[in-house]
Chains A and B, each alone.
Chain A
Amino acid sequence: MLTKRIIPCIDVDLDEDGNPAVYTGVHFEDLQYTGDPVEMAKAYNESGADEFVFLDITASAEGRETMLDVVNDVADEVFIPLTVGGGIRTTDDIKETLRAGADKVSITTGALERPELINDGAKAFGSQCIVISVDARRRFDEAGEHYVEIDGESCWFECTKKGGREGTGIDVLEWASEAESRGAGELFVNSIDKDGTKDGYDLPLTKAVCDAVDTPVIASSGCGGPEDMYDVFTEAGADAGLAASIFHFDEYSIEETKRYLDERGVPVRL
């Protein structure tokens, strides 16, 4: 049986000396130093993680060059699928990232600004490596297209850019369907409202996206422990659950998370 995937994620930036370092934050802000990317990747490779996600959160072109070298080093240590995201805007960026050792690329802003990037990327490299990532934010006004009830209130989800700092007016569910029809192979669903809170994934958001598309959905943001993974698999229908801080700070191991899920009947790779 196809298993639900447990995916650790690292956000990598350059430290004061220009060396790559992993940071963990809350609501995409207040970042704190967490560790060395290659060492962390190595540890996760051996921990039973099902995939590994590497997000380059540097903004500069200089940072990008450095990051491709780090991706190289990470790829040498990781024998599970590796997804790399951050700053990918052209098919050349996709090519470079895959060549550096990524199996898939995660694209957020680049696809919102130029949706054809999804078609071009899927055509050149295959849908399996094009992951479209959305940074969704709850909105309780009347500007959306698809609404769900949250605590008795009507809510829609907006695609944001720049880590939630900039709205786009685009409805996440519209965008998810469009991305799928353009050839996206997976959807990576982040929630600005839940990021770093550890009070659970945004279940209404994840469920709405899962219902809107046939493509595999990776739930992200808000995981505080194995029970949140359980909820997002059983209530929202996610195919994979991503988490950062609970694994980075050793609050839970991948193995104990999987055992918890296995005992409750969720198929996982043990």
Chain B
Amino acid sequence: MKVTIIDYGVGNLRSLRRGLEQADATVEISDDPQQIATAEALVLPGVGAFGECVRNSRPFHDVLVEAAEDTPILGICVGLQLLFTESTEGVPDGETIDGLDLIPGRVERLPTTAVKVPHMGWNQLTIEREHPIVAGIDGAASATRRTVASVDDGAYVYFVHSYASTVDSHTVASCDYGFDSAAIATNEAGNVMGTQFHPEKSGPIGLRLLENFVAYAEAYHDDRAAVH
């Protein structure tokens, strides 16, 4: 499985590449919209501020929206926030800035009154519903599984963020930090997903999650090949 990481100048992609390689993926880092349009699986990384990521990722918006029709996509941190409908980051009170609207939801600032913001450090997941990204996949994927860790209730992952989406029917896993927010979310079809935390920085649990994504992408293309 070839996974394409979209390079829009958001800093350190090294661990992400290495993490995906450990999951037996061939990794390509690209800023070429054409290459991205034909990718088998896409990862949208994200570090820093939403506004800056929106600006930097603009050349890839149309390609991403189109790719979402038939390609597994994983957004990470601000990369996930970009996949939601809108965000309140960096705009005056009461206004919002548009995301890609691939997953319904609004990204809002964590409540500073209750907790320290940014939410920085290791926190636990609560699984809200089934999805291959958290469950792991039977069959073909188990043969390549390297880590014994599993992404389940109580698993610790590494967060660094000041904004998040609230929990709704698109939430696969939540995290309690002053209030419950979406830690993993997906679209209706299940092929567009994202993590608010950094799997590439979350030790064995995070590597397992990247493995799950690669396995999901393989199964996704196998299923489609069988249908056509």
Contact = CB atoms under 8 A, between A and B. Distances in A.
A125 B15 contact: no
A101 B17 CA distance: 11
A243 interface: no
Interface string A65-82: 000000010011011111
A48 to B, nearest CB: 8
B58 interface: no
Interface stretch (B65-73, B112-120, B180-188): B112-120
Contact of A2 (B11, B49, B121, B207): B121
B203 A125 contact: no
B105 interface: no
B123 interface: yes
Q: Give the interface SS of chain A, mostly helix, strand, loop or mixed.
A: loop
Contact of A80 (B115, B158, B161): B158
Given A3-B123, A81-B201, A128 B14 contact: no
Nearest to B124: A1
Contact of B158 (A81, A185, A214): A81
Contacts of A1: 123-124, 176
Contacts of A125: 11, 47-48
Interface size class of B (residues with CB under 8 A): 20 to 34
Given A81-B158, A125-B48, A128-B160, A216 B121 contact: yes
A99 B207 contact: no
Contacts, number: 87
A171 B47 CA distance: 32
B200 interface: yes
Give the interface size class of chain A.
Answer: 20 to 34
A127 interface: yes
B124 A79 contact: no
A5 B160 contact: no
Interface residues of B, dominant DSSP: mixed
Contacts of B201: 79-81, 103
A126 interface: yes
A127 B119 CA distance: 12
Interface in B42-97: 47-49
Nearest to A103: B12
B220 interface: no
B108 to A, nearest CB: 18
A99 B156 CA distance: 26
A198 B150 CA distance: 37
A50 B204 CA distance: 12
A115 to B, nearest CB: 21
Contact of A78 (B15, B118, B119, B177): B15
A3 B156 contact: yes
A259 interface: no
Contacts of A101: 12, 14-15
B99 interface: no
Contact of B47 (A76, A82, A128, A215): A128
Interface in B150-182: 156, 158, 160-161, 176-177
Interface of A: 1-3, 5, 45, 50, 72, 75-76, 78-82, 98-103, 125-129, 185-186, 214-216, 239-240, 269
Given A50-B121, A101-B14, A125-B47, 15 more contacts: A2-B121, A2-B177, A79-B203, A80-B202, A103-B201, A127-B118, A128-B48, A129-B47, A185-B118, A214-B116, A215-B116, A216-B120, A240-B121, A269-B122, A269-B156
30 contacts: A1-B124, A2-B119, A2-B121, A2-B177, A3-B121, A45-B203, A50-B122, A72-B14, A75-B12, A75-B14, A76-B14, A76-B18, A78-B15, A79-B15, A80-B158, A80-B201, A80-B203, A81-B160, A81-B198, A99-B11, A100-B14, A101-B14, A101-B15, A103-B15, A125-B48, A128-B118, A185-B118, A214-B117, A216-B120, A269-B122
**Top 8 A-B pairs ranked by shortest CB distance?**
A126-B48, A101-B14, A269-B156, A269-B122, A128-B160, A3-B122, A75-B14, A98-B11
